[in-house]
Structure 1
């Protein structure tokens, strides 16, 4: 391709022009000019342009423009009009929120959920949204907003020898708290996509809190607020695991906040529900919870890819298909700087106890006065921290982490950061 650049004729080899559905090898995500798209945590629908601004190497191509397209700008010879085009220099933080709405579009690759869904397409699949960075009209990088429903299977040769306790696993915090509720909605909703959609995008760790109600059964809760019935959520998980059998999904039944005294009888009823809905898919824990745990090859050899962790070690001990509780490192911070200090300390000093996996809860938490005075709601706090979370784990903490859970996960790039680290080291 010949591009005229500042009066000089250059021959530009655009290696990145070759896009594959299974192109997971987007190495060096922190390189100057690399781009990615997110969805606003604050509004929950607007597309956000993100690009790397660390341009210290002499060979770096510092972008001067960033653009949003509804098609791959590298696909055609003729010019494709940009939906948004901005000067990168005006936004030194490498971030711009557009007025283009994402909404809740149909999931590509035949991954839209329905109970009788029988066939899906493996690999990555793009939504019609592409971001590109430019230097003097030459494309530096171009990426789409995409789902990665089979990223473990697609990269099985590279991932097979990695241990589950060493894998970088992207997760969500309060994963089931995605359904609108009338009571204190801004302080109980941590996600705006349901569990099925989280899994399809590439999330592999789900954090559940369960409540029991005598007349209504088990619910996904946020603390004492019930959000949605548990069984339909478990059936979404089941259908995903059946359609993508090599995707290792970790379910963490972490707390049981309602009633305050969650009795042994309630635990036994919950375990019975889990056994009926998911027991045949669950990986048995006997002999494989020590050290960093089994390799992915060892898990795949058992043809069981669902790991169910249970937040009561006495109950978990009585069932071979339940894993011990996962230790969560939760800072309970409302300030970005304080959260970073806490996470950095947890990464340096953590020790796995009962379970080879451990989880960093990379989100901010509103305090009591925030709820009383309606300040610092969950969306606002997620908007404050999500872009920083991407940078921290991409640029500083890429190694020596396991599970990283966030709020409003589409507001960060943690899925792609995790995939790239696992695949490319």
Structure 2
């Protein structure tokens, strides 16, 4: 609730009075800060069950904090109803001191709201955030402390352009995915090569703005998105999904990081040239040229928008980029190769302190756990399990500790964390 000046005290008194007496008529919630006690969010399990997960902030130190008694899941916004609305799930907050509860309600793969379900010939989709029919609320007796829906944010940069305009691309928090194209495969090793369970179009629609891509070449079959030497899906359809999204949401800045070229093992200059011709044909007219922009913390959003270009194509080969002025230099990725949560956090904290971007103003923390050779041999600690182990922690690290010190944060199974919403809130709230 936003309150200003001498009316604040009266507003608080009236709000509490109305809240306790007429909970069905509440149109605002008590909690407004992203890291406040009782703040809630929904995630989707990184495991195959895709169960909805209830999450809430348990740190309650301020005198004004309302410590929640109950966390509830609804299929409609409980603030919009005048009659009593029974929750689908309700838990006592004190029984779950970590602020986390996995329900038995499957999210699955529902249609994207706001007319954002992908079609090749689509020409319009609705701007703004759009909710799925899942709402989480924290309650103190009959008062709602906070309520949030599980939502897509396809135009979050445009929606907040008045706040983002003067900020620089290398100084904001950018939500990303690791091995972004590894979302489907028929390989018997799928548990060790699938890093996402949503395709790139869906990632962009939810609000992801950094895509980590690895490319392989297979002769007459052309270029594929790979996970290491395992090919996942053809590259051209992926590029066309990115293009379509950019056409529908032209003020959303998308960072494409062509970070590795794992197949064949000798990815020759001729193959690089062929790949760049393909990228040129598909994306060149939407590509932001880096000339004069790869210094310091990079360009402001206003500077980018003034050029009417929305795709930044980074290419991890300095010799190649020097011959193509529309390509950006490589983005430095900090990848820990850890399978322990504590070790990963220590590695990333060191990277935050020691990073020093030189060629490209943007830099990326790869905040995912990595299976080791024995995990693959004995079928333990697969990518879903590891993402499930770490994703909740990544949300807390970024929200509570790192929100003013990082740039790109990339994760596996991104719906298992709340990085998109944390990034949006951080970028609006923090002055860099």
TM interval, shorter chain, is over 0.9
Alignment of structure 1 residues 9-408 onto 2, 5 Å: 10-12=17-19, 17-18=27-28, 27-408=32-413
Would you say the 8 A contact 1:327–1:353 is kept in 2?
no
Question: What is the CA distance between 1:28 and its match in structure 2?
Answer: 2.2
State the distance in 2 between where 1:166 and 1:88 align: 36
SS in 1 for 2:272: helix
Query: How far 1:215 moved relative to its partner?
Result: 2.2
Q: CA deviation at 1:393?
A: 0.4
> How far is the alpha carbon of 1:190 from its aligned partner?
0.2
- Judge conservation of contact 1:38–1:49 (CA < 8 Å) in 2: yes
- Say if 2:19 and 2:26, in contact at 8 Å, map to a contact too: no
> What is the CA-CA distance between 1:183 and the residue it aligns to?
2.7
Tell me, yes or no, if structure 1 residue 424 matches structure 2 residue 429: yes
Deviation at 1:317, TM superposition (A): 1.1
- Separation in 1 of the partners of 2:382 and 2:38? 32
Is the CA contact 2:131–2:152 (under 8 Å) kept in the aligned structure 1?
Answer: yes
Backbone CA RMSD of aligned residues? 1.4
Instruction: Give structure 2 stretches of 5+ with no counterpart.
Output: 1-15
**Secondary structure of 2:203's match?**
helix
Deviations 1:245-277 (A, max 9, x none): 000000000000011110000000000000001
Spell out, residue by residue over 1:76-96, the C-alpha distance to the aligned partner (whole angstroms, 9 max, x if none). Answer: 110111100111111111000
- d(CA) in 1 for partners of 2:26, 2:330: 43
3-state secondary structure, aligned to 1:253: strand
- TM-score normalised by length of structure 2: 0.93
Deviation at 1:161, TM superposition (A): 0.4
Distance 1:182 1:294 in 2: 41
User: 1:276-330 CA distances to partner (integer Å, 9 max, x unpaired)?
Assistant: 0111100011111111111000000000010000011111111111000000000
Give the aligned partner of residue 11 of structure 2: none
| Distance in 1 (alpha carbons) for counterparts of 2:71 and 2:47 | 22
**Aligned residues of 2:49 and 2:106 also touching (Cα < 8 A):** no
CA distance in structure 2 between the partners assigned to 1:424 and 1:363 by the alignment: 26
Residues matched between the structures, number = 411
Contact 1:34 1:52 in 2 (8 A): yes
Equivalent residue number for residue 9 of structure 2:
none
